[in-house]
Structure 1
C-alpha cells in the first residue's frame, strides 16, 4: 500500500477521531436505555436527536465559511473537540430528558464547529489523487473508536452504573481534544477568499449544488443510529429480559461499527480508482435496504444482526464518499464553506428524519417509521445516480 499520503497530520487527525468516537459512541450505545430509565420513548429519542442535529446545522455553515474567511482551520477543530468532550461527560449528571437534550446539543455543537474545518484540513494536507484513501482512513479510524467504545460499554454495563460509563467515556473525549491541539499542524497559506457568508455560498459550483439536492433527499430518511439500538432493545426485551436485551443491542451496534470500520478504507481506496458517484449511490440504496429490515417484529438476534451489518457497510460508504465527492467538486478557497454547507444539509436532514421516524414509530407503527426512512434514502440514491456531476 502506498503510504505517501499518510503524513503526520493525516495520522494525528485519524487518532483524534478515534478517541472522539471512542467516547461519543460509548455514550451513544447506552443512551437509549438510559433515556428509557428516565421515562423516555422512541418519539422522545427521535426528537432529542433531531433537535441536536438541527441546532448545529447553521453552526456548521458559519464555522466552515469563517475558516475560509480568516484562512485558518485548526482553531475551529480544537474548540469543537473540546465541546464534544463536555457534552459527553455531562450525560452523567442528567436527571431528566431535558438534561439529555442539553448535553446532546452541546456535544453536537462541538461536532458542528469542528467538522467542516477538520475536513478542509484533511484535504489541505494531501493531494487530489489521495482524497478517497485519506477520507477512508479517517473514517476507518473514527469507526475503530466506534467499535472500541460500545465494546467497552458492553463489558462495563454488567459491573458499573450507566452514569459511571458516561464518566469513563469522558476520558477518550479529552484525549481527542489534546491530540488535535498538540499534534496537528496547519500549513500557512494565502487567503484568497474574503467574501461574506452569503456571497461565498453563492460562489459554490453548480455541480456541487446539484450534489447537495441528492444529499438532502437522502438525509431526510437517514435517521440516527440510536433508533436502531432502541428498536433492537424493544424487540429483544420480551424474550431476553431488559438487561440482556440492552446488552445484546449494544453488541449488535458493535457489529455495525466493526463493519463500518472494516469497510471505510477499502471503499475510499476503490473510490480513487472507480466511480465515486456510483459507489455513493449504492451506499444510499443500501441504507434504505437496512431500514426496511427493521419494519418487522422479528425477535431473532441473527436477523437483527444482519441488518445492523448492512447498515454498517452503508454508512462506511456514505460517510467517506460524500466528503470525497465534495472534495472533487470544491475549489480550495471554498472548501470550508462547501463542507459547512454539506454538513448543514446533512444536519437539517438528520433533524427531520430522526424526528419523523420517531414520531411515525410511536404514533402509528415501526412499519411507517422505518418505511419512510427507506423510501427517502432510496429516492436519494436514484437521484444521485441520475445526476451528471
Structure 2
C-alpha cells in the first residue's frame, strides 16, 4: 500500500511539472514564432536578428552548465528553478512594452537565460519521481506535455495576430499562460517541498567526478545533436526550392510537435523495457532526415519532418532520461547541466556548419549530417555494454 501511494505521488508530481511545462512552452514558443518580424519592425536588421536569436540559444544551453553546478553545490533546487521560471515567464509579456530592438533583444536573451537556469534542477526533481515509475516513462510523459504546449502556443499566437494584426497585443496576451504556469509552480512547490523523498537511491559518497560511461554517452549524444538540422533552417530551404508552401510550413512544424509528443510516450515505455538499445534504430532513422527533407518533394519532405519530430521527442526525453541511471544521485544536477549544455552547444555549432555547407552544396549538407549521426552508433553500443 505504501509503495502504491508513493508511486501515485510520483506520477502526480510528474504530471504537475508536465502541465507547468505545457504552459511554459505555450508562452515562449508562442512568442518565438514572431520575435523575428517584431525585431525587424523595431528597427533591427537581418544580421542583428540572427545574432540576437543565435546568442540567446547559446546562452540557453551554455548557462545550464553553471546552473547545474550551482544546484548541486547549494542543494537549493526549488529556489533556483523558481527564479529561472519567473525570469522566463516575465520576459515574454514584457516584450509588449519594448520601445526599441535593443530592449527586445535583452528580453529575448533573458528568456533563454531563465530557461537555462530552471532546467537542470527541474530535471533532477523529475528523476527522483522517475525512480518509482520508470525513467523513460516519466521523462516521456513530461516531454509529451511540453511538446503539446509547443504545438498550441504558436497556433494561438498566430490566431491572436491574425485577429488584430498587433505584435504587442500578441505578446501581452501571453501573460495569461505565463501566470497560469507560475500559479502551478506555487502549487507544486507547496505540495512537493521535498521531491527527493520520492527516491530512495542512496548517495554514492565514494564517487568523485562523473563515471566514464557518462562521457561516452555524452560524446555520442553531441554527435547526434551536431547532425540534427534546426527547423527554421529547413523551413528556409523549403521556401528557397518551393518544396513546401509558406502556408504549409507552420503546419508541418505543428505535425512535428505532435509526433514529438506522441513519440516521447511510446519510446519512453520502450526505453524502460529494453534500455539504451532502442537508440540504435532511432539514430539510424534520424540519419535519413537530411536526404528526405533536402532532396524530396512535398510528401517525401513530410515523411522527413515526421522523423524529425520523432527525433526531437527522443532527444528531449529518452536521451536525458538515461543520464539519471549513469550518475550518482548527488551529481545529477551537474550531470544534467553539463549534458544538456554540451548537447545544445554542439547542436548550435552543427547548425552553423550545416548553414555554411548549404552555401556550398546540398549534397555536402546531407553527407555531413548522415556521417555525424551514424558516428554516434558505436558509442551508444558501447554504453549498452555497460548494461544500460
| TM-score after normalising by structure 2 | 0.82
- Kindly indicate whether residue 293 of structure 2 is the aligned counterpart of residue 289 of structure 1: no
Structure 1 position 224, deviation (Å): 3.3
The more displaced of 30-39 and 287-296 is 30-39
Matched, 1:262 2:247: no
Partner of 1:253: 253
Structure 2 residue 375 is the aligned partner of structure 1 residue 379: yes
SS in 1 for 2:375: helix
Q: Secondary structure of the equivalent of 1:203?
A: coil
Match 2:360 to one of 361, 364, 367: 364
2:112 to 102, 108, 111: 108
Task: Give the Å deviation of 1:11.
Answer: 1.7
Aligned partners of 1:260 and 1:312 also within 8 Å:
yes
8 Å contact kept, 1:29–1:229: no
Q: Which runs of 5+ in 1 are unaligned?
A: none
Q: Which residue in 2 is equivalent to 1:344?
A: 341
Deviations 1:265-303 (A, max 9, x none): 12111111112x2222333333332233232374x3x44
Matched, 1:89 2:93: yes
- 8 Å CA contact 1:290–1:307 kept in 2: the answer is yes
- Name the CA shift for 1:106/1:318 in 2 (closer, same or farther; >3 Å): same
State the alpha-carbon separation in 2 of the partners of residues 293 and 46 from structure 1: 26
TM-score of the pair, normalised by structure 1: 0.82
Residues 29 and 58 of structure 1, relative CA distance in 2, 3 Å threshold: closer
Secondary structure in 1 matching 2:8: coil
Instruction: Provide the rounded CA distance (Å) in 2 between the counterparts of 1:97 and 1:378.
Output: 41
**After the TM superposition, which residues 316-327 of structure 1 pair with which residues of structure 2 at under 5 Å, given as runs?**
316-327=313-324
Distance 1:206 1:141, change over 3 A: same
**CA 346–92 in structure 1, closer or farther in 2 if over 3 Å, else same:** farther
Q: Name whichever of 26-35 and 281-290 sits farther off.
A: 26-35
Q: How many aligned positions are there?
A: 373
Alpha-carbon distance between aligned partners in 1 of 2:53 and 2:379, rounded to the nearest angstrom: 26
Establish whether residue 187 from structure 1 lines up as the match of residue 194 from structure 2: yes
Q: Distance in 2 between matches of 1:101 and 1:293?
A: 35
Q: After alignment, is 326-335 or 47-56 more displaced?
A: 47-56
Q: Which structure 2 residues correspond to residues 48-127 of structure 1 after superposition, within 5 A? A: 48-92=52-96, 101-127=105-131
Q: Which has the higher contact order (CA 8 A, sep 6+)?
A: 1
> Within 2, Cα distance between the matches of 1:101 and 1:288?
35
1:252–1:56 CA distance, 2 compared to 1 (3 A): closer
* Structure 2, gaps ≥5 residues long: none
Q: 1:182 to 1:154 in 2, by over 3 A?
A: same
Structure-to-structure mapping, 1:233-248, within 5 angstroms:
233-236=239-242, 245=246, 247-248=247-248
Change (3 A) 1:269 1:87: same
Q: Report the counterpart of residue 9 of structure 1 in structure 2.
A: 13
Mapped partners of 2:249, 2:302: distance in 1:
9
Q: Alpha carbons of 1:188 and 1:15: their partners in 2 closer, same or farther (altered >3 Å)?
A: closer
| Distance in 2 separating the partners of 1:75 and 1:223 | 34
Aligned to 1:355: 352
Separation in 1 of the partners of 2:241 and 2:183? Answer: 40
CA contact (8 A) 1:86 1:106 kept: no
Deviation at 1:382, TM superposition (A): 4.3
CA distance in 2, matches of 1:257, 1:70: 35
> What SS class does the counterpart of residue 204 from structure 1 fall into?
coil
Change (3 A) 1:291 1:52: farther
**Which residue of structure 2 aligns with residue 161 of structure 1?**
166
Q: Is the 8 A contact 1:23 1:173 kept in 2?
A: yes
Report the equivalent of 2:326: 329
Indicate whether 1:313 and 2:319 are aligned.
no
**Residue 174 of structure 1, aligned match among 156, 163, 179:** 179
Shift in alpha-carbon separation, 1:334–1:222, aligned structure 2, 3 A: same
CA RMSD of aligned residues (A): 3.4
Q: Could you tell me how far 1:46 is from its partner in structure 2? A: 6.1
Tell me which residue corresponds to 1:18.
Answer: 22
Which one is further off, 100-109 or 44-53? 44-53
